[in-house]
Each structure stands twice: as structure tokens, then as C-alpha cells.
Chain A
Amino acid sequence: DAKTTQPPSMDCAEGRAANLPCNHSTISGNEYVYWYRQIHSQGPQYIIHGLKNNETNEMASLIITEDRKSSTLILPHATLRDTAVYYCIVRSVDTGGFKTIFGAGTRLFVKA
């Protein structure tokens, strides 16, 4: 599976949009981009995933560049409860099983 690069930490003001970048320059054509987050002392939580089109759900939006070498997770109106570590992961879904490799992630601090 391709590796990802994320900034170690970011700040965001409460109520503003949080834009979390991720580089995955070696992504393959059959690999999806997944985002998870981990709030302190809890298990990671799935947020969103995409292949090449932009995606939106009730939690966030995912913007994937046309060349698919990078993506941005957008939390449109960040709240204090969004303070967490956010993981960007790329993996194929057509290999045997769903082996998921977590990197160091981005620690997002939402400030009042």
C-alpha cells in the first residue's frame, strides 16, 4: 500500500473550516483514500473515503486532486470535539483482505 505524508499538527479556530492535507504521490490506480480520526483514548473512527471523485458526508468532505497525488479532508465548521489525531490512509480494496496501515497522522487542535 502507498505511504502518506501529513503535517504533524495543525490549529483551527472553533467554527471555522479545518483543512487537513495529505500527500500520497505513489498511490496506485486501484487504491482508495481513507480518513480516520482518533479522539484521545478512544478507538479510531472512520470518517470518509474516496477513489477519485470528491466526496461529502455528514462528517466531512474529501477533495482529491485530479492526479490523485494528494487530498484534503475538510471539516466545514470545526468544534472543540473535533480535536483529535486524523489519519490519512491509502489502500487497495481488491487485495486479500483490508490491510490498513496507519501513519503518524495530524494532530488537530480546535481552539475556542
Chain B
Amino acid sequence: DAGVIQSPRHEVTEMGQEVTLRCKPISGHNSLFWYRQTMMRGLELLIYFNNNVPIDDSGMPEDRFSAKMPNASFSTLKIQPSEPRDSAVYFCASSLYGTGVGEQYFGPGTRLTVT
């Protein structure tokens, strides 16, 4: 099993540019989560999906952030326009909802730097 795959692993961009982060969950998992981690705020849940449907996006910081899950094997997190304060490590995780256990498996993360 390849685990959760995220791309790119590192992204450096200039303020104002659009950034797209990508995630491929573990095959068969039906829940997907996007997190952001910074030194100041720790690990924050941004949004999560069940069966490709967004369930809770209350953690999305503002309208500049958007997430989609067009199918069970792919999700994107987009920031447009990006700002320096968006610099962070973004993690994607997947889980099998409905088993009563639901441990989450995390990807390696994307380190985003906005200059």
C-alpha cells in the first residue's frame, strides 16, 4: 500500500500567486481530511470530506481557500491569492469511515512557503 500521497512536497511561490496542493488518499478510504500546521497554531483541521462530499469546512481560514474532491481518489486544496501568512505544512489524511475506529493515515505533507 502506497499510503496517502501528496504533491508537491515543497512549494515556494510569491504572494498573490495561486497555489494548488494535491492529495491521493489510500484506496478504499472514504474520508479525507486537510490539515495545516504552523509553529504558532499547531495542527489545525481545515476541511474534511465523507464519500467526496464536504462535511465540515469551518476550519477553512477564509475565502481564499477552497477544497475539492472530484472523485474518491483525488482531492485538491487551492489558495488564491496566496499570502505570506499561508506559509505552513499542509497535511492530507484519509480514513475509513463507518468502521467505528476511523484512525487517520497522514501523508508526508506539503511545505508551502509564500514570499
Where the two chains meet, the residues of A that have a C-beta atom closer than 8 Å to any C-beta of B are 34, 36, 38, 41-46, 49, 87, 93, 96-105
Contacts and interface: CB of A to CB of B under 8 A. Distances in A.
A93 B102 contact: yes
B44 to A, nearest CB: 8
Contacts, number: 61
B66 interface: no
A104 B42 contact: yes
Contacts of A100: 33, 45, 104
B94 to A, nearest CB: 11
Nearest to B49: A97
| Interface class of chain B by DSSP | strand
Contact of A98 (B95, B106, B107, B109): B95
B91 interface: yes
A97 B53 CA distance: 11
Interface centre among B31, B48, B103, B109 (most CB of A within 10 A): B103
Contacts of A104: 42
Contacts of B44: 102
Given A49-B103, A97-B97, A102 B43 contact: yes
B50 A43 contact: no
